[in-house]
Amino acid sequence: MKVLEATGIKKCFGGVVALSDGNFSCQEGRITGLLGANGSGKSTISKIIAGVYSADAGEIRYKDRLVRYRNPNEARKDGIAMVYQNLSLVPDLTVWQNIVLGAEEKKRLFLDNKAAKNLSKEIIDQLLPGLDIGKMVYELNPGEMQIVEIAKAISAEPKLLILDEPTSALEKAQVKSLFRFVRSLAERGVAINFTSHRLWEVMEICDDIIIFRNGENVGSLDFERDGRDPERIVSYITGDVQKVKVSRERRKNGGKSVLEVKGLNYGKFLRDVSLDLKKGEILGIGGLAGQGQHELLLALAGNYPSVDCVATIDGEKVRLNRPANSIRHSVLLVPGDRELEGLFLKQSVYTNVIFPKLGLKHQPLFTPRAKYRKECERAVDVLSIKTSSLDMPVRTLSGGNQQKVVVGKWFSFSTNVLLLADPAKGVDIGAKRDLYGYIVNQVREKGISVILYASDTEELAEYCDRVLIMYEGQIVASLEGDDINEDTIIATSMRVR
Amino acid sequence: MNVAARMRTNPAFRFVDQYKKLFIAFLLIIFLFLLGEVTVSNFLSFAQLLLTVKLASFIALFGLCQMIVMAGGGGGLDMSVGYTATMTAVLTASMMDGRNENLWIAMLVALVIGLAVGVANGLLTAYVKLPPLVVTMSMSLILQGGINVYTAGANITGKPSPILQIMAAKSIGIFPNILFILLILTPVVMILLYRTKWGLALFGTGTNETAAYLSGVNVKRVRCISFVISGILSSFIGLLLIGNMGIAFKDMGSNYVMPSIAAVVVGGVSMNGGDGNYIGVILGAIFLQTLTNLLVAMGWGDAGKWLGFGIVLFILLIVYVNDIRSR
Amino acid sequence: MNKARTASGSSTLRKLISKPEFSILLILVVMFTITAVLQANFFEKRSIVRNINAFAPLILLTMGQAVVIIAGGLDLSAGSALSLVVCVLTFVMRKASPETGAWAILAALVVAVLIGVINGIGIGYLRIPPVIITFATSYMWLGAALFLRPTPGGESVDWFKAFYDFSALPGASDSLKAFGSWMPPALILLLLGCLMWFVMKRTRMGRYIYAVGSNGNSAYESGINTAKIQMQACVINSLFIFLAALFFVGQTMSGDARMGDPLTLKAIAAAVVGGIALTGGRGSVYFAIVGALIMSFVNKIIFFANIPYAYQTLVSGVIIIVAIAGSQTYTLYRRRAMARESTLA
C-alpha cells in the first residue's frame, strides 16, 4: 500500500532551481532508494517530505490525505522521521537522553527515566549491541553517533523513515547490523526511504530505486522485476551525455612539479592524501559532494593548525599549518563558501580586493592608497566586475560579481598555485565564462597551476588536464586524457568502474 | 533590475542608508533638547550646547577605546578603561606636582600603565579566548584594588601640570579646549582605522574572522593590538582627566565606563564589529550627556541617569537586533 | 556522573582521576584543609555557622549563574538584580507593622521574576548576545535600586531576622534556638535552593536547559522551544537571587543599591572554577557549589594571611582572573587532547 506520494514538487533556492518536477512514492514495508549525481535534487525532495523545506509547487499525499508540513516537528508527529546527515544530537547529554530528546515521557511530576532507558536499550541492542546508553554523546565516535541518530528517529515509531546517507560514517560491521535492522523494520510495515552514495549498498538493501537528474526523476527500477544492473543505473544518472570533444588539448603529465603533498591527514575528512601538481596544469578534484574536497583545498591553504604535513612547493619544504605560510609561497585559495570564507560583505570592493596585502610582511603602516586603488581598478577591469564604484559594499553586488571579487583578492599577487573551491557555484553563466576565461588565460600566459574542485562535472570535464576522484577522504582514482568525460567521472565517483 | 536593487545603487539612497544610524543619533539629540526646552526652561541655547559637548567629551574619549575594541568583533568591549585612567591619574598626580617639566615622566608612566593593562587584556581575550567583558571586568577589579592600595592611608597629593589643565579645563573664548582635542582626534582616528594596514585588518577581522584568517592576516594579533591601543589611550585620557578636574581621586574614571559603551551603541557602531564611525560615537556621547542634564534638571539624579542609560541601551539593542544577533 | 563502568579496577581509578570533577574536589579538599589549619576554632559549632553565613550568598548566586551559563547564557546583571531585590524588600517593609514583611516578600518575588523574564526575553527571544544584554539590564536594575534607596539604609520588620539567625528572633522559643544552632537559616536557604534544582533537573525543563546550552540548533530540531528554555533558566537564576536577598536583609536589616555589584564576577568565576563551561551545556549545578566553596575558602585564607584590607579587591581580582583563565586553558588543553585522540583512532 502506498504510504506517501509526492507529485510535481518544485523548489527554488534564490533563483536556482533545485527541483523542477520531483515525483516520489513509497510503500509500506518496502525500502526505496534515491539516487542521483550532485545537485540532482534527491536530497531536496527528502527534505521537503520531512518538512525541512516547504515546496514551491506540487502536492504531497500521506496516508491518502494532503499534507503540508511547516517544520520537521510536525512531520515527526505525523509519523515521518528523517535521519539527518548533519547530526541533530546534543553532545552533552547521554545516549538515552538524546534518543528520547523532545519526546520525554513523564511519570507524575518527574521524567520517566526508567522507561526512556528501557526504550533506548531495546533499540540500541538491535542496532549496535554493546554500546553503553549511559555514555555522553561527545564521547562517541562518528559511527556510534550516527547509530544514535538513527535510534532517535526510530524511537518515535515512524510510519515512514527517511535515511539520508546514513552509512557514510559507519564501519562495515555497523552497516551490516544497520541493514538487518532496517530490513526488520520494513518487515514490520515501515516504509523506508534510503539515500546513499554507495551504489553497492543501495543495490543490496533496496527493493526499488528512483533516479534523479537535474531536478526531476528520470527513471525508477524495481530490482525484482528489472534486475540489479549497475551500468544501467549509471546510465540513468548520467543521462545521454554526449562525450563532448574538448577543443583544448589536454596537457600530458610530465612538467616540473610545483606542489607535492604526501600523506596528508585531517581527522576523518582526509586520509593519506598524496598529490603532485605540475607546472601549468589544471588538476581537477572530483567525486560526490562532501568527500573531503573542500577540506583538501583548505588544508593546502593552511587553514588547519592541527594538520601536520610538510608540502614541497617549488622544491622548498613548507608546513601547511598557517594560511600565511601557503600565501608566502604563492599558493592561493579561492574558498568555496564566499560569504563565510571569502568576503567581507559589509566592506567595500576596494577593502575586499586589497585585504590579503594587509597580512603580508614588510608592508608600510599606512596603506599606499593611490597605488592600491589603481591595482584594484585594474582587477575590476580585467575580471569585469560590475560595480558602480570601488566603494560599494560587496553585499550589494550580484553573486557572480561577488565571486569575481574573491578571485580578485589575489589579483596583484604573483600566483604559483591557485586553489579553486567550486568557483562557479551559484554564479550566472556570463560570470562563469568570465571567471574560467580569466583562469585559463592566467594558466596559459603566466604558467600558473590550478587545483580545481567543482561540484559540476561538466566544468571538470571541460577545463582539467587531469582529474582526481575523492571518496570518503581518500583519492581513489586518477583520470587522464580521454577518460576525462562526465560519464566516466560520475561512474568513477560512484565507484562503479 | 528590480526596484530594491535600483534603490541600492542610487547614491543618495546609499548615503542615507550608510549613515542612517548617525541620523538616528542626531535626531535623538534634537528630540532631547526640545523635550528639555518644553519641560525645563532655558534648556536650548548655544552656551548650553557647548557645555554639554564639554561634559560629553570624556564619554566620547573613552568611547573611542570601546569603538576600537568593538571593531575587531568577537564581543570586544573594554570595561577597564575608566580604571586604567584613574590609575594613571592617581599615580601621576604627585609626580607632576603642578609643574610642566614633570609632564614627560607622567606620560612615560601613563604609557607603561596603558601598555601593561592593554597587553594583559589582549593576551587573555585574543589568545586564551576568554570573553572580553569578563576579562576586562576582572582587570577593572585588579586596577581598583591597586588604586585602593595606593591610596590607603595616605591622601592623594599633587596637581596636574598646567599644560594638561589648559588642554582639558580651559577655554578659548566660549569654546572649551577639549573640543579642539576631539576635533583633532577625529581625523586622526579615521586615518588610523581607514588608512592603515592594521585598521583595515581590524575591520576585516570584525566583519569575517574566517575570511581574514584565510587571507593570511594574523587575526589574534590584530585583536590583541586593539586592546593594547585601548589601554594606552585610556591611560592618556587619565592624564586629561586629572587636567580637567585639577585633582585625582579614587573613582574619577569608573563612572565613564558604562556611558562610553552606551555612546558607542547609540552612535550606531555595530556590536558585531567591522565598522566604526567616530562622529557617531561623539554624537552618542552628546546624546547621553544631554540625557543626563535633562534628568538632573528634572531632579532625578543618579538613579535616573543609570536607569535612563540602561533603558536607552536596552531599547537600542532591540532596535539594532538584526545587526547583533549571535546565531 | 558516577555511572557504573565495566572497566577493570585500575583503569576505573585512572578514569576517575582524569575527570575534571576529581581535580575540582581535590582543590576543595586542599583549600578546606588549609583553612582548617589556619583557623584555630574551625570545627567549633559557632565558627561553622559563621562560615556558612559568610559563604551562603555567593553559593546561591553561583548556583543561579550556573543554570544560566549551562543554558548557554551569562548574567552580568545578577549582582545589581540582587541589590534591587534587597532594596524592594526594605522599601516595602515598615519596622512598626510586621505584616509588611509578607507584602515585601511578595513584591520582591514579583520583581525577581520580572528581572528574569526581561533578561530571558533579551537572551532567548531576541537572541542578543547575553553578555551585552545583561550588561544593559544591570544598569536598569541599578538605577531602579537607586530610586528606591539613594543612600544605604532602610528598615525591616523584626521577624526577618529569621532568615539570618533564629536566636536573634524576638520571642523565639528555646527549641527553635536549639534548632537554629545546628541548622542556621542560611543552610536552610541553601538546601531550599538545592531542592529547587533537584526537582527542576528531573523535569523536561531541566533536561532541556542542558540540551539548549550544549547545542541550540540540535535542540531546536528536536522540537524544543529554545527561547522559552533560556528564559526559564533566567527566571530560575532570579529565584536564587531572591533567596540570597532574603538572607541579606535578614543579616543587615537594611538595603544598599550597590551591595550586590562585587558578587557578579565572583559568582561567574566560582561557576567556572566549579567546572561549568562558559560555552554552555556542560557542568553540574552542584559542582558550582563546590566552586563557590573553593572561592570562599580562598578568601578566608587570604584573610588569615594577614593581607591588609586595602589589598582585598586587588587580590580577589587577581584570583578571579587566574581562576577563569586557568579553567579555560585547562578546558582548551583537554579538548585539544581529545581531538588528537579521536584523530588517531
- Res B322: pLDDT: 66
Domains contained in chain B, number: 1
Query: For C52-118, where are the E strands, in sequence order?
Result: none
Check whether C343 has a pLDDT greater than 70: no
Question: Phi, psi (5° rounding) for residue A12?
Answer: -115, 145
Cβ separation of B148 and C313 shorter than 8 Å?
A: yes
Task: Find the CATH number of the domain harbouring B74.
Answer: 1.10.3470
- Res C193: pLDDT: 95
> What pTM was estimated for this model as a whole?
0.87
C149, C151, C157, C161 alpha-carbon torsion, rounded to 10°: 120
Confidence band of B56 (pLDDT split at 50, 70, 90): very high
Residue A284 grid coordinates: 581537477
* Residue B244 and residue B171 in contact, taking contact as beta carbons nearer than 8 Å: no
Residue B97 within any structural domain of the chain: yes
Confidence band of B232 (pLDDT split at 50, 70, 90): very high
Give the C-alpha distances (Å, rounded to integers) separating C131 from B202, B326, C70, C74, C137. Answer: 22, 11, 14, 6, 10
- Res B184: pLDDT: 93
Q: Which residue has the higher pLDDT, C304 or A121?
A: A121
What residues make up the domain containing B256? 44-322
Check whether A212 has a pLDDT greater than 70: yes
Check whether C2 has a pLDDT greater than 60: no
Round to whole Å and give the CA distance between C311 and C298: 14
Round to whole Å and give the CA distance between A110 and C337: 37
Cβ separation of C127 and B327 shorter than 8 Å?
A: yes
Phi/psi-derived region of residue B98, left when phi > 0, alpha when psi is between -120 and 50, beta in every other case: left
- Res C345: pLDDT: 40
Angle at B282 between CA B281 and CA B283, to 5 degrees: 90
Q: Where are the domains of chain C?
A: 53-334
* Residue B102 and residue C284 in contact, taking contact as beta carbons nearer than 8 Å: no
- Which structural domains are found in chain A, ordered by start? 2-238 (3.40.50.300), 257-493 (3.40.50.300)
Cβ separation of C314 and B317 shorter than 8 Å?
A: no
Cβ separation of B203 and A335 shorter than 8 Å?
A: no
Query: CB-based contact (8 Å) between A368 and chain B?
Result: no
Round to whole Å and give the CA distance between A425 and A453: 11
For C217, nearest residue in chain B (alpha carbons): B327
Three-class DSSP labels, A302-337: CCCCCCCCEEEECCEEEECCCHHHHHHCCEEEECCC
Check whether B2 has a pLDDT greater than 80: no
- Res C89: pLDDT: 94
Q: Which residue has the higher pLDDT, B147 or A494?
A: B147
Cβ separation of B208 and A340 shorter than 8 Å?
A: yes
Question: What contacts B257, CB < 8 A, 6 or more positions away?
Answer: B62, B79, B81, B82, B83, B140
Residue B2 within any structural domain of the chain: no
Cβ separation of A355 and B204 shorter than 8 Å?
A: yes
Mean pLDDT (chain B) is 88
Question: 3-class DSSP state for residue A111?
Answer: strand
Task: Name every chain A residue with its beta carbon within 8 A of the beta carbon of B129.
Answer: none
For B120, nearest residue in chain C (alpha carbons): C321
- Res C7: pLDDT: 41
Q: Find which of A437-451, B37-51, C72-86 is predicted with most confidence, using mean pLDDT.
A: C72-86
Of A376, A324, A323, A379, give the one whose Cα is nearest residue A351. A376
Residue B13 within any structural domain of the chain: no
Question: What contacts C120, CB < 8 A, 6 or more positions away?
Answer: C230, C231, C232, C233, C234, C235
Cβ separation of C202 and A110 shorter than 8 Å?
A: yes
Kind of pairing between the strands at A191-195 and A31-36: parallel
- Res C8: pLDDT: 46
Round to whole Å and give the CA distance between A116 and A121: 8
C340 CB neighbour count, 10 Å cutoff: 11
For C284, nearest residue in chain A (alpha carbons): A92
Residue B276 within any structural domain of the chain: yes
Cβ separation of C128 and B326 shorter than 8 Å?
A: yes
Give, as one character, the DSSP assignment of residue C160.
G
Confidence band of A198 (pLDDT split at 50, 70, 90): confident
Tens-digit pLDDT profile for residues A5-22: 999 999 887 667 888 888
Confidence band of C344 (pLDDT split at 50, 70, 90): very low
Angle at A271 between CA A268 and CA A276, to 5 degrees: 145
For A330, nearest residue in chain B (alpha carbons): B216
Confidence band of B50 (pLDDT split at 50, 70, 90): confident
Question: Phi, psi (5° rounding) for residue A400?
Answer: -65, -45
Distance from CA of B11 to the nearest CA of A (A): 10
Q: Summarize the confidence of residues C52-67 as an average pLDDT.
A: 96
Task: Name every chain C residue with its beta carbon within 8 A of the beta carbon of A90.
Answer: 210-211, 214-215, 218-219, 222, 281
Confidence band of C285 (pLDDT split at 50, 70, 90): very high
Question: What contacts C42, CB < 8 A, 6 or more positions away?
Answer: C35, C36, C48
Query: CB-based contact (8 Å) between C211 and chain B?
Result: no
Question: Phi, psi (5° rounding) for residue B143?
Answer: -65, -45
Residue B269 within any structural domain of the chain: yes
Task: Name every chain B residue with its beta carbon within 8 A of the beta carbon of A351.
Answer: 200, 203-204
Query: CB-based contact (8 Å) between C12 and chain A?
Result: no
* C residues 269-288 closer than 8 Å to B (CB): 269, 278
- Res A99: pLDDT: 93
Surface-to-core class of residue C153, CB atoms within 10 Å of its CB (0-12 exposed, 13-18 middle, 19+ buried): exposed
Round to whole Å and give the CA distance between A385 and A405: 7
- Res A254: pLDDT: 65
Question: Phi, psi (5° rounding) for residue A78?
Answer: -85, -5
Confidence band of B192 (pLDDT split at 50, 70, 90): very high
Check whether A247 has a pLDDT greater than 60: no
Of C59, C37, C15, C71, give the one whose Cα is nearest residue C286. C59
Give the C-alpha distances (Å, rounded to integers) separating B175 from B50, B59, B170. Answer: 7, 18, 9
Instruction: Say which residue the cell 572530483 belongs to.
Output: A286
Tens-digit pLDDT profile for residues A260-297: 999 999 887 898 999 999 998 999 999 887 888 999 99
Question: 3-class DSSP state for residue A372?
Answer: helix
Cβ separation of C222 and A111 shorter than 8 Å?
A: no
- Res C142: pLDDT: 95
User: Minimum mean pLDDT among A216-230, C26-40, C124-138: which range?
Assistant: A216-230
The percent of residues in chain A predicted with pLDDT above 90, rounded, is 37
Confidence band of B324 (pLDDT split at 50, 70, 90): low
Residue B27 within any structural domain of the chain: no
The percent of residues in chain A predicted with pLDDT above 70, rounded, is 96
Phi/psi-derived region of residue B248, left when phi > 0, alpha when psi is between -120 and 50, beta in every other case: beta
Question: 3-class DSSP state for residue A94?
Answer: strand
Distance from CA of B214 to the nearest CA of A (A): 6
Confidence band of B136 (pLDDT split at 50, 70, 90): very high
Query: CB-based contact (8 Å) between A392 and chain B?
Result: yes
Of all helices (H) and strands (E), which one includes residue B214?
A: helix B209-214
Nearest to A359 among B8, B218, B274 (CB): B218
Q: Which residue has the higher pLDDT, B148 or C15?
A: B148
* Residue A379 and residue A406 in contact, taking contact as beta carbons nearer than 8 Å: no
Query: CB-based contact (8 Å) between A76 and chain C?
Result: yes
- Res C191: pLDDT: 95
Tens-digit pLDDT profile for residues A143-190: 888 899 999 999 988 999 999 888 877 888 888 888 999 999 999 999
Long-range contacts for A152-157 (Cβ within 8 Å, ≥24 apart)?
A: A152/A88, A152/A89, A152/A98, A152/A99, A152/A101, A152/C222, A153/A81, A153/A82, A153/A83, A154/A81, A154/A123, A154/A185, A155/A99, A155/A100, A155/A103, A155/A119, A155/A120, A155/A123, A156/A76, A156/A79, A156/A81, A156/A103, A157/A79
Tens-digit pLDDT profile for residues B247-280: 999 889 999 999 999 999 888 888 888 888 899 9
Cβ separation of C126 and B321 shorter than 8 Å?
A: yes
Of A125, A130, A128, A138, give the one whose Cα is nearest residue A98. A138
Check whether B157 has a pLDDT greater than 60: yes
Chains that touch B (3 or more CB pairs under 8 A): A, C
Amino acid present at A333 = L
Question: What contacts B318, CB < 8 A, 6 or more positions away?
Answer: C122, C126, C128
Mean pLDDT (chain A) is 87
